[in-house]
Structure 1
Amino acid sequence: MPTAVIDGLVTRYEVAGEGPPLLMFSPGGFDATLEGWRTVGVYRRLGLLDRLTRDYTCVTFDRRESGGSGGRLERVSWADYVRQGVGLLDHLGIERAHLMGGCVGCSTAAALAVAHPERVLSMVLYSPAGGARYRMKQHARFTRHLVYADAEGLEQVVALARGSDAGFTADPRLGPWVNVIRRDPEFADRYARTASDRYYTMVSGMVRLLFDRDTVPGPEPEDLIGLDVPALIVPGQDDSHATSAARFLQECLGHAEYWDVPVAEQTAETAPARIAAFLGGVPAAE
């Protein structure tokens, strides 16, 4: 599978299908790999990627710190995720694209549209992650990691990562850089030697920056309100994908269509067809 160096980090990606470009921000949180479109929850059930590749050039990729992509020990922000997406468009020579986010990928898609509206034809925001319980779960996960790292040391975090195949979501002790630790021995060595006070400050600041609200994290509401990019919003309905999060996007995005259908009625027949109808109605790039 091809890779590209973007913002100094390796990005693993795949291009499939023919037609207008569709850049897809994977579901899966801190394990947001391109395979997630076929293996994670609702996306596996709906078969969205296989349907969309019939009419679109679908660009999927591993988010930084996930899967086969690289990572860097720093206070990661939404702007960092945006740079990866824009850099991949540049690498592929794509001037403008439709965007699609699944789960927390919706936050990066919306943030990219705010930062670079001239690069975006439209957005599909499928089951956006957000809500009060989602924020609380993310903060609790990072807290459990920091408690373990403080008690056992970062060398033990590395040892735990190498002795397990779990991700940060399944085992918070492992932290958000677990995939990079396993893949990159030099990174793992630098990670283990990081000063504990510096690490605590960076990670505690990272979670506060990424998950700072009880709705969809990412771009500010005032920036969303000022955005004129067409969008389709499809609601989720659980503790990590609160319906209120989708309604928040509907409130803020003035050029949005809201598909008001319960998750149980989002099927392999209805959902791909609804997305295709939306994308097909967006004017092509000039």
Structure 2
Amino acid sequence: MPRTVIDGITTRYAVTGDGPPILMYSPGGFDSRLENWETLGIYRRTGILARLAASYTCITFDRRESGLSGGRVERLSWSSYVDQGAGLLSHLGFSSAFLMGGCVGCSSVLALARAHPSLARGLVLYSPAGGPRYRITQHARFATHAAYVRSAGLDAVVELARSSDASFTKDPRVGPWVTVIRTDPAFAESFAKLDPARYELLLAATARVLYDRDTVPGAEPEDLMALDVPALIVPGQDASHAPSAARYLQECLPAADYWDMPVADQESTAPARVLEFLNAH
């Protein structure tokens, strides 16, 4: 599977299908691997990637700090993921594309569209992650990891990461850089030598910047209200994908097309609805 280096960080990606390009930010939180479009929950059950690839060029990738992409210990923000997506489009020679996000990928899509509106032909926001319980859960994960670093040290984080295949979501103790620790020995060595106090400050800043509101993070509401890009919103309905988060996007995005369909009824019709939207734009 091809890889490229964007801003000094390796990105693993795949290009499938033929037609207008769709840059697809993967679902899965801090385990946002490209395979999730075919193996995770509703995305697997709908077969949406295969359906889209029959008519479009689908660009999927491991988000930095996920899968086999690389990473860098720094304060993470949504602009970190903007740079990765925009850099990948540039690497592939596309000056614009449809942008699609699943789950947490919706926040990256919004941030990219806000930063580079000329890149965005249209947005598909599938089950956007957000809501008060989502924010509380994310902050708790970072707090759990910080507490483990404080009690056991960074060497123990490296050892724990290498002793299991648990993600940051499954076992918060391993932290948000766990996949890079596992796949890059030089990174793991340098990670273990970080100053723990400064690392803890970085964790606190990352959690605050990424999860700063009780709805969909990624872009300010005023910026969304000025974003004149067609957008299809497919709502979710659980603690991490609150219906209120999808309704918030409907309220903020001036060219929003809100698909008022219960999650239980989406599986058989979602690919057709997404294709209908893409074909219209």
The answer to whether TM tops 0.5 is: yes
- Equivalence for 1:280: 279
Matched, 1:41 2:41: yes
1: distance between equivalents of 2:214 and 2:107?
13
- Equivalence for 2:197: 197
Identity %: 64
- Equivalence for 1:229: 229
- The amino acid of 1:138's aligned partner reads Q
Deviation at 1:251, TM superposition (A): 0.2
SS of equivalent residue, structure 2 residue 80 = helix
- The amino acid of 1:81's aligned partner reads Y
Deviation at 1:235, TM superposition (A): 0.2
Q: How does 1:14-163 map to 2 (within 5 A)?
A: 14-163=14-163
After superposition, give the CA deviation of every residue in 1:108-129 in whole Å (9 maximum; x if it has no partner): 0011000000011000000000
- Equivalence for 1:255: 255
Structure 1 ranges of 4+ moved more than 2 A = none
2: distance between equivalents of 1:85 and 1:31?
16
Q: How many residues align?
A: 281
Q: TM-score, length-normalised on structure 2?
A: 0.99
SS of equivalent residue, structure 1 residue 42 = helix
- The amino acid of 1:67's aligned partner reads G
Deviation at 1:42, TM superposition (A): 1.1
Deviation at 1:41, TM superposition (A): 1.2
- The amino acid of 1:204's aligned partner reads A
- Equivalence for 2:270: 271
1: distance between equivalents of 2:165 and 2:26?
20
Deviation at 1:21, TM superposition (A): 0.3
- The amino acid of 2:195's aligned partner reads A
2: distance between equivalents of 1:76 and 1:227?
24
Q: TM-score, length-normalised on structure 1?
A: 0.98
After superposition, give the CA deviation of every residue in 1:188-208 in whole Å (9 maximum; x if it has no partner): 011100011110000111000
1: distance between equivalents of 2:248 and 2:155?
42
After superposition, give the CA deviation of every residue in 1:194-251 in whole Å (9 maximum; x if it has no partner): 0111100001110000000000011000000000000000000000000000000000
- The amino acid of 2:278's aligned partner reads L
Deviation at 1:270, TM superposition (A): 0.6
